[in-house]
Chains A and B, each alone.
Chain A
Amino acid sequence: MRYQVPVALLQETFDVLRGCGGGQRECQVLWTSWWADPHLICSVIHPRHRAHGGGFEIESEWINSVWLDLARRDQGIRVQIHTHPYEAFHSAVDDAYPILHHVGFLSLVIPDFARGAVSFDRAYLAEIVADGRWREIAPKDRLEII
């Protein structure tokens, strides 16, 4: 699936990643869309998490609350987005502990604690394929900024 990402939500994503990480800690946000219109990303969620310069972990209680909240809002998570301090890539931890393990789920990694341009430049996008592994895919093939 190719998702449409409103430019305002992309800006909000970078604002949250920069503000939370402060150029010193990694951070994650989630993009959701309505189940009735899954192609159009409609909100940015900032999970409760603890983080350091080289990683983050989402609070377990928060996952429960967002699972129920998504059901109330009739939305689903489509993409997880997190920062790395330097280069963007998918680490072994990124591979093993995503918030969703569904085929087609996307994980976008933003370099330099998101302090660069508000774009997918130097970003790394990975997608879960049928055998459960992640494969790199060009952002333009799955994400369209509108």
Chain B
Amino acid sequence: MNQIAEATARPERGHSLDLTIVNNGLLRPISIDRDATVKSLLERAIALFGNIPAPHTQSLWTEKGVELTNEQETLKAAHIKDGDTLLLRPGAVKGGQS
């Protein structure tokens, strides 16, 4: 493997983010590359909590209440930082007869 190919294949140190995901009162740690997409983190977060048969209803939110809506965006581009806490929750909650 030449030097360029080797550098591409080997992730750089310090690119991992240690995050906490919150869902219904439970906290779960997760480590993920900052260049991973929001979609990738969402899929891993849903898998952490299991038993969510309608994953399309879930999204990630910052503690300040900002929904990570662009699933193709990288975590770095979404300004997610090491140590952040993200909320896994439904986008809307409503009900009623009509």
Contact = CB atoms under 8 A, between A and B. Distances in A.
Contacts, number: 111
A70 B25 contact: yes
Interface string B83-98: 0010101111111111
A100 B94 CA distance: 11
B3 interface: no
Interface string A51-77: 100111110110110011011011111
A45 to B, nearest CB: 11
How big is chain B's contact interface, by range? 20 to 34
A130 B18 CA distance: 31
A104 interface: yes
Nearest to A100: B24
A50 B54 CA distance: 25
Interface of chain A, main secondary structure: mixed
Contacts of B90: 63, 97-101
B77 interface: no
B86 to A, nearest CB: 10
Interface string A120-145: 00000000101110000000000000
Interface of A: 26, 28, 32, 35, 47, 51, 54-58, 60-61, 63-64, 67-68, 70-71, 73-77, 80, 82, 84-86, 91, 93-94, 96-104, 107, 128, 130-132
Interface of B: 22-27, 49, 51-54, 57-58, 61, 63, 65, 85, 87, 89-98
